[in-house]
Structure 1
Amino acid sequence: QPYTPHHPYNPYNPYYPSYQTPSPVALSQWTTTAAPAASTTTPTSSSTPSPTHNGTVPDSLDWREVGVEGPVKSQGTCGACWAFAIMVALESQYAMKHAGNVSLSEQNLMECSTQNYECRGRNTAIAMEYIAQNEGIGTEKSYPYLSYQTHCRYSTASIGGRDSGYVPITSGDENALKKAVATIGPIAVGFDAGHSSFQYYESGVYFEPACSSSALDHAILVIGYGTDPEQGDYWLIKNSWGTSWGEEGKLARNRDSNCAIATEAVYPIV
């Protein structure tokens, strides 16, 4: 289906006005030290191989249209994108399987998943394994986000969600990612976001010719996909920089030019 932005349509590549400035996190995010990619992390017994799907999938899909997606969140000046991508992916799975929306605690994950780098980077696989081994994660209400690290204050009395591990999508395979988005739901992915065109993105189908297929400096959520007759195939992406960035916190990303979007793609098992 044609891509219809919330703002007036901008031609491809989308423009970013000179008066617009990126959010504080956009300025600090690019200096974070990335943790090892999920695709290179040794899976534990709770992890399973990427699923195969031989059937057809829809040509376009937007999980917002069926009420799976909650509001866009903001990570503030803390480089905790990894925690936001995982929590929103887990929230989406709960919404799909339990017919209800729950907001889970990024702060809980950031402070208690000690193998990660808190505000300085991420490893999505390790974080999902932490939730499984911890037998749950707190709700946002019981453990609100602060945008900085203190100490672990998790209580089993405030569990809002659980997973039993994670599933990695075949690295670099955008077709496998498309099938996973269609059959599983929103997928947490790594992304090469270290470009001013991304930091200042406003609307339209995003394309960055300098994107890398291996440089992962951000984590986001793929919530759908489609095809525009003029701009071609695109991914629908949900960011964690609040609603003032992009199209109310979301972006349409050109498919098949990667930006590392399929290099590290995972989802939680619920």
Structure 2
Amino acid sequence: MDWVRRHNQLYNKGERTYDLKMNRFGDMLHNEFVNTMNGYRRNSMNRTYEASRFVAPDSDVTLPDSVDWRAKGAVTPVKDQGQCGSCWAFSATGSLEGQHFRKTGQLVTLSVQNLVDCSQPYGNLGCNGGLMDRSFRYIKDNGGIDTEEAYPYTAKDDFCTFNKSGIGAEDTGFVDIESGNEDALKAAVATVGPVSVSMDASTTLFEFYNSGIYNDPRCSSIYLDHAVLVVGYGTENGQDFWLVKNSWVEAHTVSSRFLVLLRF
């Protein structure tokens, strides 16, 4: 595509902070891509669960300049959601995997399919979208969530086959970070662990992102349609960024597995 080539020419000149690459989404219409891959459904769901608000550490607590929970062993390998709008479930399991690691020292891959199939009574819609807080509430009330080994991912809606003998982790509750408060998010990532977040992934630039610090002025802070997991932060060439685990895996392209997003 000519516009991808032109963008990358600007990137090579230092006029853009990230490059693009044609990928499997190039065979999809853009609205098909958005409707299929972006399953965060905050604005279309009425059922809500109130959570406590995250309280940042005292101002005299110095946060590290950079954090990468992958290096600490708290992040499982990236998985591919396939043609299923289950990003919310990948985000939720990733967050709980990190907390389970911090508590037990064991990194366990949890079942995304367990959430896809079993959390509909809490307002989630399987491959048609969902929310992380509904997932955490389901896991708490359910007494836990199965491991990926016990309940493998199939990238499609199915009957719930949860089995308590396969439980890999539990949760006792969750807290919310104030929307748009990046200082609070930084504090949470530094002191608590990987954090589930949502973002606008509806732009064509994001669709074909390859590497570098993603920065698109058209990216909305209000229209949020994709759930991901913040696993760290840092600074590169004077630009602060978030290190983000996604659930889209492009074959043979390591850079598509983790995103680097500009902090504002």
- The TM-score bracket by the shorter chain reads 0.7 to 0.9
Q: Residue 202 of structure 1 aligns to a residue in which SS?
A: strand
Q: 1:33 to 1:162 in 2, by over 3 A?
A: closer
Moved over 4 A (4+): 23-29
Matches within 5 A, 1:101-112: 101-112=107-118
Match of 1:220 among 228, 235, 253: 228
Q: Kindly indicate whether the alpha-carbon contact (under 8 Å) linking 1:25 and 1:79 is maintained by their aligned counterparts in 2.
A: no
Match of 2:154 among 143, 146, 159: 146
Matched, 1:99 2:105: yes
1:235 is matched with 242
TM-score normalised over the length of structure 2: 0.85
2:93 is matched with 87
Letter in 2 for 1:52: A
Match of 1:73 among 73, 79, 88: 79
2:4 is matched with none
Name the Cα RMSD after superposition: 2.3
Q: Residue 140 of structure 1 aligns to a residue in which SS?
A: coil
Q: Kindly indicate whether the alpha-carbon contact (under 8 Å) linking 2:86 and 2:127 is maintained by their aligned counterparts in 1.
A: yes
**Equivalent-residue separation in structure 1 for 2:237 and 2:163 (angstroms):** 51
**Equivalent-residue separation in structure 2 for 1:186 and 1:252 (angstroms):** 15
1:41 is matched with 48
Measure how far apart 1:243 and its partner are: 5.2
1:268 is matched with none
Q: Residue 66 of structure 1 aligns to a residue in which SS?
A: coil
Q: 1:24 to 1:167 in 2, by over 3 A?
A: farther
Which has the greater radius of gyration?
A: 2
Letter in 1 for 2:41: A
TM-score normalised over the length of structure 1: 0.83
Q: Kindly indicate whether the alpha-carbon contact (under 8 Å) linking 1:103 and 1:139 is maintained by their aligned counterparts in 2.
A: yes
Identity of aligned residues (%): 40
Matches within 5 A, 1:243-258: 244=251, 247-256=255-264
Measure how far apart 1:36 and its partner are: 2.9
Q: Residue 172 of structure 1 aligns to a residue in which SS?
A: coil
Structure 1 residue runs of 5 or longer lacking an equivalent are 1-8, 257-270
Moved more, 105-114 or 28-37: 28-37
Greater relative CO (CA pairs within 8 A, separation 6+):
1
Count residues in correspondence: 242
Match of 1:164 among 172, 197, 203: 172
